[in-house]
Structure 1
Amino acid sequence: MSDTYDVVIIGGGPGGYNCAIRCGQLGLKTAIIDKRGVLGGTCLNVGCIPSKALLHGSELFAAAKNDFAGLGIKMSGLELDLDQMMSQKTDAVNGLTQGIEFLMKKNKVDYVKGFGRIKEKGVVEVDAEDGEQKTLTTKNIVIATGSVPSSLPNIEIDEERVVTNEGAIALKEVPEKLIVIGAGIIGLELGSVWSRLGASVTVVEYLDRIMPGADDEIAKEAQRTFKKQGLEFRLGQKVTGVERIDGHVKLFMEPAAGGDQETLEANAIIVAVGRRPYTEGLGLEAVGGKTDKRGVIETTDHFKVTDGVWAIGDCIHGPMLAHKAEDDGAAVAELIAGKAGHVDYDLVPSVVYTNPEIAWVGKTEAQLKEAGIEYKKGKFPFQANSRARTNHETTGFVKILADAKTDRILGAHMMGVGVGEMIHEICIAMEFGAASEDVARTCHAHPTMSEAVRQAAMGVEGWTMQM
């Protein structure tokens, strides 16, 4: 292994490994350092990928239990094999992590297992997994250290009864009663998994609404839908503490606006109150780097911390999403190679992988009103979509927002089966500055769920063709 590089990347998550691949493709001699001992970061090992494996498995279980009979499929003896569900989750993760390690070799990237820190400009020290200390010299350092779960005061995480996302994807049994603290994306996804598998789930949220980043209309419809599925919501509640008693847990809360304390009991609690950048012990001060009070690394608009030091992904400003980190990584690799590199954070889609899915990109109605931008909207319900009616998947709608004068698409908000795939049609349209009419006049195959996107675009100008 050479000790002199064009690029050394600290962190092997989606941002880091995609940066490494692109650097390799561009002919830059590259090393990537990761302390986990396996590449993929939070997303692949304990986040996006394993949670989706459980979401998919639990959705099939719930469909077999609740929906198959209505489709003419009779079943008997249905039962949950949680051990096998966890095993197939692990198989998916292992296969993907091995694939990333192969890509490092394919692109001639050196992979160093250990904890990396910046010693000085152009020098990275590694406390290697094998106990040795390595020193790597480099022209460029890329910080891709990601994020870790946030918690609340007076709550001790043990990853057994009081868990973060990491413990929530590895519970050894289905809890009879489960409390989720936080009604954001992670809390709703994990809560829905265990609800479908048989848990009684209560979601406790400080705000008076769920999914604070989503469009108001989508959030209200989602809450109604999740309530029908069995989730209970306690909004506007401040969690003041958690206590473990004889294999159970108690949660203490009081109204955020003030009032009497209340107690909830459960078998387990998932703490899903957001994430914070992982930047401690990184040695930023050695190169004059700075963080804000949340630990977010301060950068220029082209990812630069100082000369020869770059930062990407969850540890800098912008949405904490794996696909945003991937784009950051590729952009930085291209900038280092002397090419143009840029990521438009206004066009990064968000997806909630519940059932049905929720997806959005661009501005919400509230944001447009606050900015004083005049807009028009088109909305189309899946209840009126032929494929959705045929598949008995009619929950939700598509809404498209467009500039009132130019018709340029400003945002799109969707709730329905498969909208996590459909949102990209709008992402591409917005990337090219398309008008709602451009989408409305683009032929879509019939019958498909994505026709709802076209119909919503038609609705902006009032010429929806279906119900």
Structure 2
Amino acid sequence: MGAHGIIPGVDVFDVIVIGGGPAGYVAAIRAAQLGFKTACVDAFERGGKASLGGTCLNVGCIPSKAMLDSSERFEMVNHELSEHGILVDSAKLDLAKMLARKEAVVDKMSGGVTYLFKKNKVTSLHGLGRLVRQDQGGWVVAVGDQEVAAKHVIVATGSSPRELPLAPFGGHVVDNAGALAFEQVPDRLGVIGAGVIGVELGSVWRRLGADVTVLEALPGFLMTADPAVSREALKQFQKQGLKFSFGVKIQEVTQDVAGVKVTYQDGDKTVTAEFDKLVVAIGRVPHTKGLGAQEVGLELDERGFVKTDAHYRTNLPNVYAIGDVIGGAMLAHKAEEEGVAVAEMIAGQAGHVNYEVIPWVIYTSPEIAWAGLTEGQAKERGLDVRVGQFPFSANGRAAGHGDTRGFVKVVADAKTDRILGVHMVGPNVSELIGEAVTVMEFAGSSEDLARTVHAHPTLSEVVKEAALGVEKRTIHM
């Protein structure tokens, strides 16, 4: 099969990608680069119009970072510029303009994906893509009333916010998209879930003036991160005014015109809290509704994720799946790399994603980032480790910025010196983690990182000093 139209009346492609988020649009572009006639089917709409980029670009990664940046600037003007000798009186918030800026950023980025599709000759089809049948060696996909076909189909339908059964979305109870579109700053904001989404969104509205309470079912904060990072981050967030309760059990959520009441068990106490708005951020679930999985026999696991092998192949011939819909780390950059890998595998190349060194980032202030194993995880694997740690408080560039919170921690194998993990909390660590990932990708050692020349003065010197610390030979502390 190919682009020769052997199914009468049906447009035929080499590759059809279902889903236009980071996994899907990247897979489509890479497939087109490899010479395949490619179509991408996507149903996402924003403001009543088609908008490529999926959840990440439209109501997730990109708009949340725009709001985080805007709210940090507002915080800086009101509370931090005076330390630099810059006095600003009576700074006011124009929330409507801030939200309009966020939407403009999203428009630009979504338009960028549209441009890339045109540049790479990817056919964009707007509508819900549904697997219909296998016909003459290829797969027929319905897009509304239209049918298209291809030899290869890549499912990249992403994920959706998980609802709390006691508090379905609606009214004053919102998901991440709703929490990016409040028309006014809530006086009292509740957040259920102290993960990435909950902490980032809570930080935005706390800086803009809300009283924010975060409720978390787990007994501690960011338990997947290195404990030293988690402790430091929690201390900084609490200093900023975010309030946390851990190990809670939600018992009842009720709404009225004024707001939301949440009753929860906190240790041996029953607490009822009242909020103007409640953000539920308890994770995400695979989005397969309308895909036709059951009708064509596409196998899902017990949690609803599409089952794949190590090469992203499903149980159906020439049907692949990538991104959030297959589980694992629900990260846009992980999904993008899977998009590249699956397209290259279809082309007979050796596509590959190294899941051991995927970076995790939380874009709060201070930022949090890590890649690889924590010290505890390495020891659980039976490895002897050495650790180096260096604070931003001893860094000249951080002092000049006026932000010396946090540190960088390097975990290395005691025998081989290979870097096993790097963990950071502090200013701009979302950018600094890239260096660590590069060194780890090449199986580098702490010595490699320690002997790499870093410009002075830069924040990146903290990474170098942490690597020097593995052998207890830091220079500036």
SS of the equivalent of 1:445 reads: coil
Counterpart of 1:294 in structure 2: which amino acid? R
Q: CA deviation at 1:289?
A: 2.3
CA contact (8 A) 1:153 1:241 kept: no
Q: CA deviation at 1:390?
A: 1.8
Counterpart of 1:86 in structure 2: which amino acid? L
Q: Distance in 2 between matches of 1:161 and 1:372?
A: 48
CA contact (8 A) 2:139 2:152 kept: no
1:46-445 matches, within 5 Å, as 46-121=59-134, 122-128=138-144, 133-158=145-170, 160-255=171-266, 259-305=268-314, 306-445=316-455
Task: Mark the runs of 5 or more structure 1 residues left unpaired by the alignment.
Answer: none
Kindly tell me the number of residue pairs found equivalent between the two proteins. Answer: 460
Counterpart of 1:357 in structure 2: which amino acid? E
Post-superposition CA distance 1:117-161 (Å, at most 9, x none): 111233333343xxxx11111110000000000122221211x41
Q: CA deviation at 1:393?
A: 0.7
Q: CA deviation at 1:99?
A: 1.1
Q: Distance in 2 between matches of 1:284 and 1:419?
A: 40
CA contact (8 A) 2:151 2:318 kept: yes
SS of the equivalent of 1:213 reads: coil
SS of the equivalent of 1:142 reads: strand
SS of the equivalent of 2:235 reads: helix
Counterpart of 2:361 in structure 1: which amino acid? V
Q: Distance in 1 between matches of 2:124 and 2:318?
A: 20
| Identical counterparts, % of pairs | 50
Counterpart of 1:270 in structure 2: which amino acid? V
Q: Distance in 2 between matches of 1:265 and 1:32?
A: 45
Moved more, 455-464 or 363-372: 363-372
TM-score by length of 1: 0.96
Match in the other structure for 1:11: 19
Q: CA deviation at 1:365?
A: 1.7
SS of the equivalent of 1:463 reads: coil
Q: Distance in 2 between matches of 1:198 and 1:423?
A: 31
SS of the equivalent of 1:335 reads: helix
Moved more, 300-309 or 197-206: 300-309
TM-score by length of 2: 0.94
SS of the equivalent of 1:447 reads: coil
Match in the other structure for 2:7: none
Q: Distance in 1 between matches of 2:53 and 2:336?
A: 11
2:55 pairs, out of 42, 65, 88, with: 42
Counterpart of 1:328 in structure 2: which amino acid? E
Post-superposition CA distance 1:26-69 (Å, at most 9, x none): 11000000111221000000000000000000000000000001
Task: Mark the runs of 5 or more structure 2 residues left unpaired by the alignment.
Answer: 4-9, 45-49
CA contact (8 A) 1:116 1:124 kept: no
Post-superposition CA distance 1:193-229 (Å, at most 9, x none): 0000000000000011122321111111111000000
Q: Distance in 1 between matches of 2:251 and 2:339?
A: 39
Counterpart of 2:305 in structure 1: which amino acid? V
Post-superposition CA distance 1:161-219 (Å, at most 9, x none): 11100100000100001111000000000000000000000000001112232111111
Q: CA deviation at 1:286?
A: 4.5
CA RMSD of aligned residues (A): 1.3
SS of the equivalent of 2:123 reads: strand
